Amino acid sequence: MSDLRLPAVLGGSPAFDETVPLARPSVPAIEEVSADLQLILTSKHLTNGPFVARLEEQAASRLGVRECIAVSSCTSGLMLLLRAAGTTGEVIAPSFTFAATVHAAAWNGNQPVFADVDAATLTLNPEKVAEQLTERTAAILATHIYGTPCDVESLSRVASSRGVDLFFDAAHAFGSSYQGKPIGGFGRGEVFSLTPTKPLVAGEGGIIATNDTDLAGRCRIGRDYGNPGDYDCRFIGLNARMSEVHAALALRSLETLDERLDRRNSISATYAALFRGIVGITLPQVRPGDRSTFKDFTILVNQEEFGLSAIQLTQALRSEGVETRRYYSPPVHKMRAYEHLELGRTDHLEVTDRAANQVVTLPLWEEMRDEDPVRIAEAIASIQIHAAEVASLLV
Ligand SMILES: *Cc1c(COP(=O)(O)O)cnc(C)c1O
């Protein structure tokens, strides 16, 4: 890599003239969806019809699970799943996740309890979960963060040792696999998100996957207010239906999923090889035998070794025309909505706090040019070479 290049933040020319976005969904061509749209509009069946049914069938067959229930979002899917399972009590969840994981438990009146993540994979640490188990624990809700599969076996062992339910927030993980088996069939249920930054795209939407047919039945009723059809609601449900248009988009996205996941993995491998040469940058690990969707490509910046903090690096990258985010910072326990839960506790989320301090998420989308990750890594290398000057400028 060239060390002659001056970082843009110090007056050099930016790595990109046009800002590289963090994420951009791949969408089907208009001709591909116009026939679907025509069918939907002429049938006048706009929600929860044949496209939703087909999506559920195809998703279940792809994931190797008995039942998939299409819903309006991953958040509503998680809310429904916990409601349908009758979860009452404490729910152990990571704080290093997107807020919606924890919101779903809190909306059901469950008390969230945070457990720390594993330093290598940044997924929920089963030993730390075991430390948080009490007689009040009703369930464990783990996140396959960035698409990295959790340590499913150890979590299952911890859950079954105490007879508590295990659920997964699989928002990032449609297409991930754990030791050769698709994410979707683990625990009592898993929920995927189909928003534009997730691997499978409907615009808005979610999919609940489960092998528990009773639970699936309750989720189906639950997404229709709890009404099985006779208007005698069996429990307090939601409107969490998916529209036919969203299902049609999701079906198209499913057709290209494998190809797109290969592309995401290949871009990630390019990034990983380039970062091997940069001191102070490490990468969250995917365990051997597992496969990630790489919903996000996140690096960890060690300020002492790299010479700049994660925040300073994001500022310097903005000048280069590189959009970044800091997934997931702040961690959920530091959000104002949840800080009351952690009063008086300071040390049990050490890895979470460190990771939240160090994360920088870089652009990764399927239609990126091959040279984009290379130029982004080069820009980061040149920023590091000039770290002292950049730091004094950015404070
Ligand atoms: C995006 C996301 C969600 C929420 O998904 P929606 O479909 O937007 O409700 C939940 N959990 C995680 C980890 C997410 O990243």
DSSP 29-64: -HHHHHHHHHHHHHHT--BSSHHHHHHHHHHHHHHT
Which are the contacts of 227, defined by CB distance < 8 A and separation ≥ 6? 221, 233, 234, 237
Cβ 98 under 6 angstroms from ligand 1: yes
Q: Which atom of ligand 1 is nearest to the CA of 198?
A: 1
- pLDDT by residue for the chain (395 residues), tens only, comes to 445 689 999 999 999 999 999 999 999 999 999 999 999 999 999 999 999 999 999 999 999 999 999 999 999 999 999 999 999 999 999 999 999 999 999 999 999 999 999 999 999 999 999 999 999 999 999 999 999 999 999 999 999 999 999 999 999 999 999 999 999 999 999 999 999 999 999 999 999 999 999 999 999 999 999 999 999 999 999 999 999 999 999 999 999 999 999 999 999 999 999 999 899 999 999 999 999 999 999 999 999 999 999 999 999 999 999 999 999 999 999 999 998 887 767 679 999 999 999 999 999 999 999 999 999 999 999 999 999 999 999 87
With a 6 A CB cut-off, is 128 part of the ligand 1 pocket? no
Q: Is the peptide bond before 288 cis (omega within 30 degrees of 0)?
A: no
By most ligand atoms within 8 Å of CB, the mutation choice from 80, 193, 198, 327 for ligand 1 is 193
Cα–ligand 1 centroid distance for 388 (angstroms): 38
Whole-number Å distance, alpha carbon 198 to ligand 1 midpoint, is 8
Which run of H or E residues covers position 142? strand 137-143
Q: DSSP label at 227?
A: -
Q: Residue 395 has what pLDDT?
A: 72
Contact 216, 207 (CB under 8 A): no
CA of 308 to the centre of ligand 1 (A): 30
Distance (angstroms) between ligand 1 centre and the Cα of 220 equals: 20
Write out the two tokens for 43: 């049938």
Does 169 sit in the ligand 1 pocket, CB within 6 Å?
yes
Q: Which of 22, 73, 75, 144 to mutate to test the pocket of ligand 1 (most atoms within 8 A of CB)?
A: 75
**Ligand 1 centroid distance, CA of 94 (Å):** 14
Q: Is the CB of 97 under 6 A from ligand 1?
A: yes
Q: Cα(74) to centroid of ligand 1, in Å? A: 5
Ligand 1 in contact with 143 (CB < 6 A)? yes
**pLDDT of 346:** 67
Q: Is 206 in the pocket of ligand 1 (CB under 6 A)?
A: yes
Decide: 378 in ligand 1 pocket, CB within 6 A.
Answer: no
Q: What pLDDT score was predicted for residue 1?
A: 47
Ligand 1 centroid–CA 101 distance in Å is 7
- For residue 201, report the distance from its CA to the centre of ligand 1, in Å: 12
Pocket probe for ligand 1: among 69, 72, 74, the residue whose CB has the most ligand atoms within 8 Å is 74
pLDDT at 277: 86
Take atom 13 of ligand 1 and give the residue whose Cα is closest: 98
pTM: 0.97
Cis peptide before 328 (omega within 30 of 0): yes
At 189, list the tokens: 């249920």
Could you tell which of 78, 141, 195 is best to mutate to test the pocket of ligand 1, judged by most ligand atoms within 8 Å of the CB?
Answer: 195
Å from CA of 249 to ligand 1 middle:
18
How many other C-beta atoms are found inside a 10 Å radius of the C-beta of residue 254? Answer: 20
Q: 104 CB under 6 A from ligand 1?
A: no
SS3 sequence, the chain? CCCCCCCHHHCCCCCCCCCECCCCCCCCCHHHHHHHHHHHHHHCCCECCHHHHHHHHHHHHHHCCCEEEEECCHHHHHHHHHHHCCCCCEEEEECCCCHHHHHHHHHCCCEEEEECECCCCCCECHHHHHHHCCCCEEEEEEECHHHCCCCHHHHHHHHHHCCCEEEEECCCCCCCEECCEECCCCCCEEEEECCCCCCCCCCCCEEEEECCHHHHHHHHHHCECCCCCCCCCCCCCCECCCEHHHHHHHHHHHHCHHHHHHHHHHHHHHHHHHHCCCCCEECCCCCCCCECCCCCEEEEECHHHHCCCHHHHHHHHHHCCECCECCCCCCHHHCCCCHHHHCCCCCCCHHHHHHHHHEEEECCCCCCCCHHHHHHHHHHHHHHHCHHHHHHHHC
* Torsion angle of C-alpha atoms 177, 78, 209, 163, degrees rounded to 10: 80
Ligand 1 contact, 74 CB (< 6 A): yes
pLDDT tens profile 16-38: 999 999 999 999 999 999 999 99
